[in-house]
Amino acid sequence: MARDAEATRQRILKAAEEEFASHGIAGARVDRIADEALANKAMLYRYFGSKEQLFDEVFSRRVVAVVEETEFDALDLPAYAARAFDLYQKDPNVLRLTNWYILERGQAADLETLVASHQEKLSRIESAQKAGNLRSDLTPIELLASVRALAMTWHTLTPEMARSKLPSLKRRRETIMENVRRLVS
């Protein structure tokens, strides 16, 4: 019986990720999530409490996956940015969920997984700065925000810009790495 409950929970999370990535929190519909997960709405609320809590669970799981897939090395921020770029390319839901989180939950939520992830990165950057391995005229948050923005650059183009003749995927990745290299040196 517990296995069935866990399988239902996993189906709900999978369906919810797609629904939230496509529609955000406000536009997501619990009945669509339940239908896609082959579950009923009552189970969804039983497992997650509310639509917002369900989103937070989905987003927290993605944060953990991103941390695991984009190993952070404060001494090699260009490679970190490239790994993040690769992840956004491979899994557009990561960036979509991040944008929905910022727009709809950023002020209300305080996800422990996100806080811990950022604190760890900022601490590593600060240590690298103190050791003289990274420029210190920018604060750790200034460096991290800039590196993240560069990693997202090609995935946040307006539709009009995205219809332009873009450089190859390889060149876009190289451009990110070169810009981060310039930023941190």
Same domain for 77 and 105?
A: yes
Residue 182: the pLDDT is 97
**Last residue of a domain, which of 10, 26, 49?**
49
Can you tell me the distance from the alpha carbon of 34 to that of 90, in angstroms, rounded to the nearest whole number? 26
On whether residue 93 sits in a domain, the answer given is: yes
Same domain for 44 and 127?
A: no
CA-based nearest residue to 135, from 176, 173, 181: 181
Residue 116: the pLDDT is 87
Output the pTM of the full model: 0.86
Q: Are 24 and 103 in contact (CB under 8 A)?
A: yes
Q: Phi and psi for 121 in degrees, rounded to 5?
A: -65, -45
Same domain for 28 and 67?
A: no
Overall domain count for the chain: 2
Can you tell me the distance from the alpha carbon of 185 to that of 183, in angstroms, rounded to the nearest whole number? 6
Same domain for 42 and 76?
A: no
Token pair 């600060």 is at which residue?
126
60, 83, 98 from 91: Cα distances, Å: 16, 12, 12
Same domain for 101 and 19?
A: no
The CATH number given to whatever domain includes residue 42 is 1.10.10.60
**Last residue of a domain, which of 29, 49, 69?**
49
SS3 (DSSP) at 84? helix
Residue 53: the pLDDT is 92
Q: How would you write the pLDDT of the chain (185 residues) with one tens digit per residue?
A: 445 888 999 999 999 999 999 999 999 999 999 999 999 899 899 999 999 999 999 998 887 788 888 899 999 999 999 999 999 999 999 999 988 988 888 776 677 888 888 999 999 999 999 999 999 999 999 999 999 999 999 999 988 988 889 999 999 999 999 999 999 98
1, 9, 20 from 99: Cα distances, Å: 37, 24, 11
On whether residue 54 sits in a domain, the answer given is: no
Same domain for 32 and 77?
A: no
DSSP 8-state class, residue 135: -
Same domain for 41 and 85?
A: no
Residue span of the structural domain in which 175 resides: 60-184
Same domain for 178 and 126?
A: yes
Structure tokens at 23: 């529609």
Residue 3: the pLDDT is 54
Can you tell me the distance from the alpha carbon of 22 to that of 58, in angstroms, rounded to the nearest whole number? 13
Same domain for 124 and 178?
A: yes
On whether residue 55 sits in a domain, the answer given is: no
- For residue 58, count CB atoms less than 10 angstroms from its CB and return exposed for 0-12, middle for 13-18, buried for 19 or more: buried
Q: Are 36 and 19 in contact (CB under 8 A)?
A: yes
